[in-house]
Amino acid sequence: MVVSNIQQYNYNTVSNTAPVKSGKLQKQTLKTAAAPVSNSITFQSSQKTSNLRTELFSDDEKKKYTELLKIVDKNSKRQLELLLKSGVLLNADSNDRSTVLDNLYKIATTPRAEGLDAQGLLKDTISTISYPFLVTQQFGDIPEAYRARAIAANTAGKTNLLDRYISYKDIDVEHSGTCVAASIEFNLAEKMPAEFARFAEGLSSADMSVKKEIKLNNLADNPLDAIWLLNAFEIPFEASSFDSALLTFAPDKNAILRAQIQTTNRDPLERSPLDVLMQSTFMQVGSQQSYNSLTDKRKGKFNQNDKGLIEFEKTFTESVVEDKNKLSVTYQTVDENARLVGYETDFGTMKRHLLTALDMGENVIIGYTQVDQNNIIINGHEITLVGYRRDTDGKLIFICNDTDDNISKPVEYSEDYLLPKIHHAALPESIVAGDLTVTPNWVEGLNIYKDLKNKAA
């Protein structure tokens, strides 16, 4: 489901082009939160306390745990011990009921995709689950040792000299457009650690794919509308009933080269190979299987821009990755000239929606906009609300994760600064019922598709 005024914008990193000086919220309003963060944030809040297991019971679990301890370095060993004590390691909130431990063991003991390092992937998976704020969307450079392969892959099948020249230049990505995908990756690691580990294992395996069964009513009330969405997004699936569908998630064909580069040439603050595979996969889902990891560009039927994902694509991707009915609530009112002219509701109602979701233990992925001196929207970015606190004056401070700020910690924004910039937020439907008009997600997609076709005619 989605609430929207149909006007769509790409949510990605804002380029450093005039008149914008920064792609993120202004630095003077941002503070890094001390680690560990405020008690108002409940990490892993999706886990039921009664279901937490902190002891290894079966011989199989003891064997896997012992083997992992023998393989990993000192830091990962300490993280594994903490994950066990906190109940995360034996968490089985995954699509096939496998635990974090099960999937970590598979990463360590079964073949990985060509050019990927099992120990490195194991370390990255353990570290990300232990501290999801490590997730970043920062692309790395392409070193000389890989450059010829990258150029050949990106120019394959192109005979026009201009197309080949553009393809040659496009592999040097300066500004990542994967903020939506990185936010979804963060949320999966923070709220569904077993499913995150299962994705990490499957996407880095020799098959480079993950199968996931989802409930069709988490996409639309009518199963035929849900099937329309799956077909529209071109994600491979099998539907043997009107209740569920088995989806196949996979990164784009060029993701393996990016992951190999990050395996051998990763610099500080750049993406891990795991980040590459996760974000490529989620960009593939949102862009109707049209993403290219070498250029960070996409095609697709719902979007005329070649970078990032629009709100509708983001909502679909969140819904299938988490198998939840995601509602994208649009708060800003924008005219046909992309001018911000008002809001769909008052800031008090907006704040109530966000706090209710956070109090329910939900993270909230939001899209914020930047405007020029004429209130024209010039760009947008996606971040995740993970908690809140009050300052000494009683003012609300939102605690957030930004995958594009080169800060591996939560960051804070005051309500007065952040609320006016929020274009949309992913929320449970029950929170906004009665406050805003709801439009089915498939209807939103069909309207966008028709609008783009009419413009192209």
pLDDT at 255: 98
Using 50, 70 and 90 to split pLDDT, how confident is the model at 35? very low
User: Does residue 83 surpass a pLDDT of 80?
Assistant: yes
- DSSP annotation string for 66-96: HHHHHHS-HHHHHHHHHHHHHT-TT---STT
User: Does residue 235 surpass a pLDDT of 80?
Assistant: yes
pLDDT at 156: 86
User: Does residue 289 surpass a pLDDT of 80?
Assistant: yes
Interatomic CA distance for residues 184 and 100, integer angstroms: 18
pLDDT in tens, 36-66: 333 333 333 344 444 689 999 999 999 999 9
User: Does residue 24 surpass a pLDDT of 60?
Assistant: no
Q: Hey, where are the domains in the chain?
A: 2-43+322-456, 49-137+173-312
pTM of the predicted model as reported, rounded to 2 decimal places: 0.89
Q: Which of 202, 219, 7 is nearest to 94 (CA)?
A: 202
Interatomic CA distance for residues 121 and 112, integer angstroms: 9
From the centroid of its chain, how far is CA 266? 21
pLDDT above 70 covers what percent of the chain? 87
Mean pLDDT of the 115-142 span: 97
Using 50, 70 and 90 to split pLDDT, how confident is the model at 12? low
- 23 versus 74: which is more confidently predicted? 74
Element holding 31 (H helix, E strand): strand 31-32
CB 176 within 8 A of CB 283: no
CB 334 within 8 A of CB 5: yes
User: Does residue 446 surpass a pLDDT of 80?
Assistant: no
pLDDT in tens, 346-398: 999 999 999 999 999 999 999 999 999 999 999 899 999 999 999 999 999 99
Mean pLDDT of the 65-82 span: 98
